[in-house]
Structure formats: C-alpha cells, structure tokens
Amino acid sequence: MDTILNYLDKQEKKVIELQKKLVSLPALGPENGGEGEIKKAEYLLSYLRQYPSLIIKELPAEDSRVPSKKRPNIAAILPGKEKDRTIWIVSHLDIVPPGDLSLWESDPYVLRQEGDYLFGRGVEDNHQGIVSSILALEAFINTSTEPTTNMGVLLVADEETGNKYGLEFLFKYHKELFTQKDCFLVPDFGSKDSDLIEIAEKGVLWLRIEVLGKQCHASTPEKGINTLVASSDLIMRLRRLYKVFDRQDPLFSPPISTFEPTKKEANVPNINTIPGKDVFFLDCRVLPSYELSEVIETIKKIFQETEKEYGVKVNFEIVHGLSSPPTDKENEFVKKLAKAVFEEYNTRPKFMGVGGGTVAVYPRKNNIPAAVWATIFGTAHQPNECSSIKNTIKDAKVMARLLL
C-alpha cells in the first residue's frame, strides 16, 4: 500500500498536465450548442492506450446531431485478483458552457494555476474525477501492483443533459459490462472537507399538466370555461400531496418528499380573453420509500376532482420520471469508502441523500451499490470553477485504497 500511496504523492505535475489538456478540449453537448465529447475522448483514449495492461472498450452512442455522429463512452479496465468483480469509477466527459465571460478572471478554456488551485471550465465538474481515477489506475500499473478486484475507469458522455447517450445508454445496450457483484463510485458530488457520501436520491417526477376549458370574451364568462381558475384550484389541490406522502427520512435535507408547481406556459396574450387552455408543470422529488406510480395514481384522482368541479379536461404527460432504491450504508463497499476517506482526510463522512440527479441512479436501479463522493469546493457550473491539486491526489489515494 505504501508504494502506491507514495507514488500518488508525487503526481502533482501529472494533475496539471491532464487538467491543462482537458480544459483546452471543451466537450459541450448539442443541447448546449456544442459538438459533443469526441475530442476530449480521443485524447483520453490515446493517453490510456499507452498502457497495454488495460482492457479498453469504446462504447459510443449514435447521435446524428453532432458532426462525429458519436457520443463517446470509454471503459478502461485493469484486471485484478478477483476477476468477476469490478469497482467502477464513473466520471463524465461533458461540461456546461462557461456562461457570462465577464465574470471569469481568465479564459475558461485555458488552465490557470494559483498555487494549489486550478481554474477553468470543467476542472471540478468532472475533470477532477477523471484525473483522480486515471492517477489511481496508473498507480497500480506503474508500481506493478495487482488490484484486489478489477478496476474500471468509466468515462461517459451526456451527463449534463440527461444521460441518454451516457450511462443510461450503457445500462441499456451494454449491460454485459456490469454484474451484481460490481460497485460504483461516482466522484461528482461532495464537500471541501470530504465529509459527505451520497447513498440515496429522491425519485424525480416531472409532469406537464394541460387544463382544457373554453375560451371566450372576458365580459361574458358564462359562455366559456376559465382554465386559469381551474388550474389555480388544481395547483392548490396538489398541495395535498405533501399530506398524502408525508413520510420523513433524516438522510435527506429536506427530509420530506416535495411537490412543487414550477413553470407556467403563457396562455392568452390579451387581458380581455378568458383562457381556454392553461399549461403548468409539477416538479416532484419523492423519497425512495414511495413508488413514483403511487404518486401518479394520487395525482390522477386529484385531476378528476378538478375536472368534475370545473367541467375542464386535464391531460398530463410525464416529461421525466426516474427513481432508484438507496444504497445501504451498511454495504461493505460503502463502509470501505468511508474508512478510506477517514484514512486520507481524517474525517468521518456523513451519509446522505439528495434531491435527485446523479448517474448513480442507473447502477442503483439495477441493485448495484453506488456511492457518490469527491472532495470538491462546489464551484461546478460557476464562473472561475476551481479545483485543488492536493485534493485530486488525495481522492486518487482514496480510490486506490478501495482496491487494495
């Protein structure tokens, strides 16, 4: 173990070299006006190919919207003593746009270093994870140490815009990569003190709700059916979801499920028309002890009440619905991670749940344990995104400890 940890302690230059290159190769999805992740993926592929002991799999998803027609996903596997089990470390290749450039102190696509700090778009989200996992991989290769199980570094596309071409794609079309004995580490959430490990997510349910009535002149409301009134009533009735699904789980903050109306589409353009159609959206974050289908059934009943009372028709569409069971905090892999974090950072990390939204949902849906953890400042998606060289190396040491 000491050989590996000492090796990693000397990798400061490597962190800078990799980050410099990664920052210079922006990987924006087509939704964000980009050409995808192909350039960054090609660089990393050629980098990883210098190691003949790695099994490298290219698993691209087809996407006609980008010039290469490919959204790259890469698996680099170092075989371990136990051959039928892989510890996967998943990072994403894509970034979000830099936003208002005047808020940046330097070019977001040119790495800037100030002592231990690195600045640039993507340095934290998710280059730190990419670099830490590659360093850990190299530590085993360059010290000729065999990991206890296979070590799989997984670099995926499309995390920032829905995962359809990334980890969701891999679990749909390349499920043979994964087994129930595997474990996932997702270094894409955490705290600066390394004291948080995410093991659960609320289910996410987004609904588009359309209320149909009858348009007429505002001076003769009896001739129409005012859908703004019906929608307003419906929105207030939907507050009841908080009472129906009122379980609490202290793992989460807030500890309850939430059901919030959010976006509202424009209805009529003028003041003197009664709207015959209203559309709004509902964002539900549901504790994993409930099924999303139970929530949908209750919502349907509430729709029927409004339909009956106002003579409107309520249609709905599920824009997004995804949930997964939590990973047990008593799971052996999770406990090993907490121990490794304690050994590197001298802190006892707290287990927690979040309101939804990491790639851990895919392994968890398949009953494969997944923990989300990294030591980061929380500057993702912000101007002057920042990451620490020291933490990148320490995170690599935590990763290596999981395989020793």
We find the least distance from the C-beta atom of residue 252 to Zn ion, in angstroms, to be: 20
* Exposure string for 217-242, b = 16+ CB within 10 A, e = fewer: eeeeeeebbbbbbbbebbbebbeebe
Residue 119 contacts residue 111 (beta carbons within 8 Å): yes
CA–chain centroid gap for 346, Å, is 27
We find the least distance from the C-beta atom of residue 175 to Zn ion, in angstroms, to be: 23
SS3 225: strand
We find the least distance from the C-beta atom of residue 42 to Zn ion, in angstroms, to be: 21
94 in catalytic set: yes
159 in catalytic set: yes
Nearer to Zn ion, 74 or 282 (CB): 74
Measured in Å, how far apart are the chain's first and last C-alpha atoms? 7
Nearer to Zn ion, 95 or 299 (CB): 95
143 CB burial (10 A radius; 0-12, 13-18, 19+): middle
Nearest in space to 74 (alpha carbons), one of 95, 59, 94, 89: 59
> Catalytic pick from 94, 124, 158, 188?
94
Nearer to Zn ion, 188 or 201 (CB): 188
> Catalytic pick from 63, 124, 138, 159?
159
Nearer to Zn ion, 130 or 238 (CB): 130
H or E, element range at 392? helix 389-402
Vertex 189, ends 184 and 195: CA angle to 5°?
A: 95
* Exposure string for 20-57, b = 16+ CB within 10 A, e = fewer: bebbebbbbbbeeebebbbbbbeebeeebeeeeebeee
Nearer to Zn ion, 37 or 125 (CB): 125
We find the least distance from the C-beta atom of residue 328 to Zn ion, in angstroms, to be: 24
Phi, psi of 183, deg, nearest 5 = -140, 155
SS3 31: helix
Nearer to Zn ion, 5 or 185 (CB): 185
- What residue ranges bind Zn ion (CB under 5 A)? 125-126, 188
We find the least distance from the C-beta atom of residue 246 to Zn ion, in angstroms, to be: 32
We find the least distance from the C-beta atom of residue 404 to Zn ion, in angstroms, to be: 27
List active site positions. 94, 159
